[in-house]
Amino acid sequence: MSSSGRPSPLIRAPSQKLGPEYRPAQEKPTATVSTEPKIDNLHTLKQTSQLIALLTLIRDKHTNRADFIFYSNRISRLLVEEALNHLPVLPLSVTTPVGRPYAGVKFEGQICGVSIMRAGEAMEQALRECCRSVRIGKILIQRDEETSKPRLFYDKLPADIKDRWVLLLDPMLATGGSAMMAVEVLLSKGVPEERILFLNLIASPEGAQNFAQRFPRLRIVTAFVDEGLDEKNYIVPGLGDFGDRFYTL
């Protein structure tokens, strides 16, 4: 945000050649990829041709609801898989069916998902597909359209959430107001900041910066950092209202 309180000028996202390493540059298409804000606790998914193709499909205003659900679910799955890579593991040695030992690892501690209703609930299926019998909590926060400030209406969280690693789910990070309020709810329940990972499909650079500065020990995992916010605090180029496209249109 600028000193006047207005959205900062948009930062044009870079472009690069996409495709397998073994293909020459002239055989790779050029596509817009995520910006790279200098934020220590922000992790952006590798900008592969597969990811950009999926993002292109869900950004397209002509994509129907069934396809929007299918392809956004695929991106959510990639986000969950990457988030799990950030969790601690312990050594574990097992014996294979042929009687040989294998030195591996196992996850340390338990996890739970917390979705910011309603759009965040769209990411729950991807979490369930990766983590069997995972517990999921809910937080309902709505933005006042006039002030753009969030209001907390409801929360229902596991009783032992302070002892778990929390994957906070919300597909769009615009100003960051709703997500920051959700984190405050988690902190009030005793969840350590460093045990929270915030997952989203698309983030604005302003929202990511505000969020990361306020919670420097929390990690953000996103698929794409977009150009910025417009005068209505909508992410641009964005993909529209995620909840409407996923649930109603």
**Residues designated as active site:** 143, 147, 241, 244
Please identify which residue in the block is written with the tokens 């405050």: 184
> Residue 123: which residues within 8 A CB-CB, separation 6 or more?
76, 79, 80, 113, 115, 169, 170, 171, 199
Coil, helix or strand for 247?
Answer: helix
Q: Which of 174, 157, 155, 168 lies closest to 239 in space, CA to CA? A: 174
**Cα-Cα end-to-end distance for the chain:** 32
Q: What is the rounded distance in angstroms from the CA atom of residue 196 to the CA atom of residue 8?
A: 28
